[in-house]
Amino acid sequence: MTQIIFEHVVKRFGSVTAVNDVTLTVGDGEFVALLGPSGCGKTTTLRLIAGLEFADEGRILIGERDVTRLPPRARDVAMVFQDYALYPHMTILENIGYPLKVRGVGKQERTERVAEVAQQLQIGDLLDRRPGQISGGQQQRASVARAVVHQALCFLFDEPLSNLDAQLRLEARAFLKHLQHELGVTTVYVTHDQAEAMALADRIVIMNYGRVMQIGAPLEVYRRPANTFVASFIGSPPMNLLAGTIDLARGLFRLNGQEPGIDLSALFGRLNGKLTDGQTITLGVRPEHLTPQVEPSPGAIPAQVYAVQPMGGEVLIVVRVAGKLVSVRLFRDEPPDLPHEIWLVPDLNVSYAYDADGNLLQ
Task: Please identify, using beta-carbon distances, which residue of 36 and 292 lies nearer to ligand ATP.
Answer: 36
| Residue number, 84 or 354, with CB nearest to ligand ATP | 84
Residue 13 in the binding site for ligand ATP (CB under 6 A): yes
Is 167 a residue that touches ligand ATP (CB under 6 A)?
no
Distance, in Å, from the CA atom of 350 to the CA atom of 285, rounded to the nearest integer, reads: 7
- Choose between 122 and 232: whose C-beta lies nearer to ligand ATP: 232
Instruction: List, edge to edge, every strand of the sheet that includes 186-191.
Output: 77-80, 154-158, 186-191, 31-35, 203-208, 211-216
**Residues 122 to 151: which contact Mg ion by CB under 5 A?**
none
Contact with ligand ATP (CB under 6 A) among 1, 8, 23, 39? 39
Q: Is 54 in the site for ligand ATP (CB under 6 A)?
A: no
The verdict on 43 binding Mg ion (CB under 5 A) reads yes
Cα–Cα distances in Å, from 168 out to 127, 262, 321?
18, 46, 39
* Cβ nearer to Mg ion, comparing 43 with 95: 43
Q: Which residues contact 167 (CB under 8 A, 6 or more apart)?
A: none
Determine which residue in the list 20, 44, 282, 351 makes contact with ligand ATP, applying CB under 6 A: 44
Using CB under 6 A, count the residues that bind ligand ATP.
Answer: 13
Site for ligand ATP in 76-135 (CB under 6 A): 82
Indicate which of ligand ATP, Mg ion, none lies near residue 174 (CB less than 5 to 8 Å, by partner kind). Answer: none
103 by DSSP, 3-state: which? coil
d(CA 291, CA 346): 7
**CA atoms of 294 and 339, how far apart (whole Å):** 7
Expressed in angstroms, the distance from the first to the final Cα of the chain is: 36
- Region from 39-47, 57-65, 124-132, 165-173 binding ligand ATP, contact rule CB under 6 A: 39-47
Q: Pick one of 20, 26, 32, 43: the residue that binds ligand ATP (CB under 6 A).
A: 43
Which residue's CB atom is positioned nearest to Mg ion?
43
Partner that binds at residue 39, options ligand ATP, Mg ion, none, CB closer than 5 to 8 Å by kind:
ligand ATP
Q: Min. distance of Cβ 113 from ligand ATP in angstroms?
A: 31
Stretch that binds ligand ATP, among 1-9, 12-20, 57-65, 114-122 (CB under 6 A): 12-20
Distance CA 115, CA 304 (A): 58
Query: 61: exposed, middle or buried (C-beta count within 10 Å: 0-12, 13-18, 19+)?
Result: middle
Instruction: Report the 10 Å Cβ neighbour count for 69.
Output: 11
DSSP-assigned letter for residue 227 = B
Q: Could you say whether residue 20 binds Mg ion (CB under 5 A)? A: no
What is the spatial distance between Cα 199 and Cα 302, in angstroms, rounded to a whole number? 35
> Would you tell me which residues interact with ligand ATP (CB under 6 A)?
13, 16, 18, 36, 38-44, 82, 192
